[in-house]
Amino acid sequence: MKTLVRPAAREDILRQYRYYLAEKDAATAAERFLDAVQLATEELRHHPDIGAPARMKWPHLAGLRSWPIPGFPVIRIYYIHSADGVRIVRVLHGKRDIGSLLEEDTDFED
């Protein structure tokens, strides 16, 4: 099964990585974060239905699920599993307004 990481999700990952790099003595956390994202993505690729359904009212988000990043449980991968594979939509901290961020992002074809 193939995995597509959308540009918005890539930016989310880079933003979090840069955040850890900017923190004093957090370079190892930044590297652990990237490794954990890769591990979580691989797990979703092999077991795409393990994530918790994320109930959203918008049709373009039908089937959206979320899965925590190992070692970083407040950061979750939001993804959609389809016949084509797993599409990583966003990677967001749980304190963000996830509904608003996902609602405004309607172009999932990239």
DSSP for 51-85 reads SEE---SSGGGTTEEEEEETTEEEEEEEEEEETTE
Is residue 17 in a domain? yes
Q: Does residue 109 form part of some domain?
A: no
CA-to-CA dists, residue 20 to 7, 41, 45, 70, 90, angstroms: 20, 20, 26, 16, 18
Beta pairing class for 85-93 and 52-53: unpaired
> Would you state the structure tokens that stand for residue 39, as one six-digit string?
């591990």
- Return the H-helix or E-strand segment holding 36: helix 27-46
Predicted structure pTM score: 0.86
Task: Give the model confidence (pLDDT) of 41-71 as tens digits.
Answer: 999 999 999 998 887 777 667 788 999 999 9
| pLDDT number for residue 34 | 96
- The CATH code of the domain that includes 29 is 3.30.2310.20
Q: What is the mean pLDDT of residues 19-39?
A: 89
How many domains are there within the chain? 1
| Domain membership flag for residue 95 | yes
Residue 110 domain-assigned (yes or no): no
Average pLDDT of span 6-31: 89
Which domain range does residue 44 map to?
Answer: 2-104
How far does the chain reach from its first CA to its final CA, in angstroms?
Answer: 18
pLDDT at res. 43:
95
